[in-house]
Amino acid sequence: MKKIQKGAEPDKLTQYRQLRPANTWKQCAKDKDRKVQIQNQLKLDQGGLCAYCEIDLKPAYGNDAADLRVEHFHPKTDASTQHNWHLDWQNLLACCHGGSRSDVVDSGSRHTSPDHSCDVPKADNDWDDIILNPLHLPASLCLFKFNRADGSISVNIAHCQQAGVDESKAQATIDMLRLDSTRLRNLRELVLNNLNEQLRNMMLAGYTTEEARMRLTKTELKKDDHGNWPAFFSAIRSYLGSAAEQQLNTINYKG
């Protein structure tokens, strides 16, 4: 999970909420153009990554469904107040299907039922005070660290303490969203092993470890031409260490 910097609310959502303030997300999403505009803005804000696990949100291809859906961080069904969580722009996130759909694009690696993650175990639970909200994370520090050998994720306790983030809440985020699932471990391991192989080849070519890390940071830890961050951004950031932090500071990274 990484920091998300929310952009401007899509005008079609604003207009719809003004006309139908009590309606549900399902009703709102019936209009394809409106739904697509909202999804596109969410993807843009998130750099094309799932708000929880950071897998790349792939579009539909052929007969395969997109690995993307709109998630409500706070349960949209909460009727304890007059607030309509269904249509609250600050409550909307884009996330993957968490391994739950067999018809999703790249299903060979992305469909792993019952090995689910992200909003699948979260469902309609109110975990506002239990897990971290990606909108409220610091951009300056990576709160998680990753093991290249097996792709596992753990809490970076030092960074949590430095950022004033409750480390038990960070651990709950991993556990309850199942961010250390076998599927996600395997996918992160592939990314990190590829980085390690590039680093090794650069060092064989005569670069120092730090020089190689800096070169990798400049080529790997950046948005593509469509405004997308690389999949598993935080894992790459963690692996590249201080070189990544220098580069992110250079580009004034905000999330």
When pLDDT is cut at 50, 70 and 90, the band that residue 180 belongs to is very high
When pLDDT is cut at 50, 70 and 90, the band that residue 249 belongs to is confident
Closest CA to 112 of 186, 19, 35: 186
Phi, psi of 209 (to 5 degrees): -60, -45
Mean pLDDT, range 172-194, rounded to an integer: 98
pLDDT at 13: 98
- pTM, 2 dp: 0.96
Q: Mean of the per-residue pLDDT values for the chain?
A: 96
Mean pLDDT, range 50-75, rounded to an integer: 97
User: DSSP readout, 207-224?
Assistant: --HHHHHHHHHHHHSS--
Mean pLDDT, range 182-210, rounded to an integer: 96
